[in-house]
Amino acid sequence: MTVMLQSSQMVSIILQDTRDEFSEKLKVLTSGNPQENSHVAQKSGAIFFAMKGASASTLFPQMSSFISKNAAYTLGIINLNSKDQTLLPARDSALNSYISITIEALNPLLSKFLSQFSHRRSIPIMLLGRSFQVIGIPWPDLNDGLFYNDVVKPPDSGKSLIHFYSWKYKSSAPLEGWLQRIKNEQITIDGEVITDPETILRIGSDLVYRRLPWKEPDTPYLLEILYEDNEMIALNKPSGLQVLPGGVFQQRTVLTQLQWWSSKQSFSVSEELHPVPVHRLGRGTSGILLCAKTKLARTQFAAYFAEGTSSVRRNSTMEEGTKRKISKIYRALVTGIIHDDEVSVDQPIGRMQYPGVAQGLYVATPSGKPACSKVNVEIQSGRPHQIRIHLSSIGHPLLGDPLYVAGGQPNCLHSEVVNQSFAEDGGYERPTKPVPGDCGYYLHAHQLILYHPKTNEVVKIIAPLPPILRTRIEAEDVHE
């Protein structure tokens, strides 16, 4: 992984508004009272600083009014260059809160606007001076549930139903939870509902466990189309939206939105696939997500990613001599100041059990003045959470990352992360401590350069940077 410094010493928030109410709150933020700081940072108007410069006149009056009211808050610097470390929780709290609270405030207005265009395949919107197409359907309150299918194999023949499920899927629910599911008629054997947990299994029997519908956590649903042709489509994925089904997110994913969207499209006979993502992008990571629309594109992209995603010469045109068929560049906001213009990291990444194998909590020792760096990141390969782990391993974890701290280790390794209380159908509640899918950090897949799978022409795709990840020059260019 290569990290290239873009700008340094970017710290938190400044208010460019003279309203008395916020001036008072700003005084509290700089007063050195950590408990009150954290509360004010979350509740104050500072969380809306990212709305600076937004032009929503093409939407409707309510949204225009909302944005105008909060447009004075913008990204910048609070004077936190003192030695008072108690101010850091307030800064981090504000940064971690602004996205979710801003989205929560805007979603009702945006949903009302989008309902006027429900008959369209995609919706043109003019925002921040640029035009793009957006796809997405609001999530239903409950998902459709889930079916787990198993076939009884020789080693499991003669075992009881409760023994089979409580051991094979012990991470899903405790013994009491599986007993509850069986009694609730959620399991069938060869199509017959079974309520006796001591039923003996036979070789070849078909087992089906039906997980009841549940409300998945709130997530964004709108996807911007950055590029599209007959072979592929590139989306701008928002932070907070998972790409593929997994864990608690089985419906609220990019794949589901693609399926809903493509079901309304007219595909030719030659197109063998509906759009499917061809690479990973963490739930908390925003930016370019490449999807294949044909078998040819899917095969080609798989080969591209297998070779690696770092252009050796890091050029913008991929002229002859570049070894890679595809190149990705991320923009990240990390803690601390990276003094070198370029840093290479080759720290090995392996698996470890989480939670419960370590004795105690891993904590990084803070040093130096509070500051952050905006960096470009280019990776040679795509290991899970590679950027987060590598940056934290060199002492510069992503700002707001709830899981990885300096040293590349999880933030908490105590076994208490699993809450033993039951969910509605007997399963475990979500962990109370950080897990890999948690959001809050700032990582954006900014640029993608690749050879077109059919024409072999160079295609360059750019996902506009969120305000918090722009350099001062980039921010000025946007507002000119």
The CATH number that applies at residue 189 is: 3.10.290.10
Same domain as 440, residue 302: yes
pTM of the model: 0.59
Cβ–Cβ < 8 Å for 302, 278 = yes
Write the CA distances from 384 to 1, 282, 316, 349, 409, integer angstroms. Answer: 13, 8, 26, 9, 14
Same domain as 166, residue 111: no
Last residue of a domain, one of 211, 237, 260: 211
Q: What is the pLDDT along the chain (480 residues), one digit of tens a residue?
A: 443 333 222 222 222 333 344 444 444 444 444 444 434 333 333 333 333 333 333 333 444 444 444 433 323 333 333 445 555 555 444 444 444 444 445 555 555 544 444 444 444 433 333 456 899 999 999 999 999 999 999 999 999 999 999 999 887 888 999 999 999 999 999 999 999 999 999 999 999 999 999 999 989 999 999 999 999 999 999 989 999 998 889 999 999 999 999 888 765 544 556 899 999 888 888 999 999 999 999 999 999 988 865 554 444 444 444 567 888 888 877 665 554 444 444 444 444 443 432 333 222 233 333 444 445 555 555 554 555 555 565 555 655 565 555 554 455 543 343 433 345 666 655 555 555 555 556 788 889 999 999 999 999 999 998 887 777 676 666 555
Same domain as 158, residue 117: no
State which residues form the domain around 110.
11-126
Same domain as 173, residue 113: no
Q: Is residue 131 part of a domain?
A: no
Same domain as 160, residue 120: no
165: exposed, middle or buried (C-beta count within 10 Å: 0-12, 13-18, 19+)? Answer: buried
Return the percent helix, strand and coil in the chain, to nearest 5. Answer: 30, 25, 50
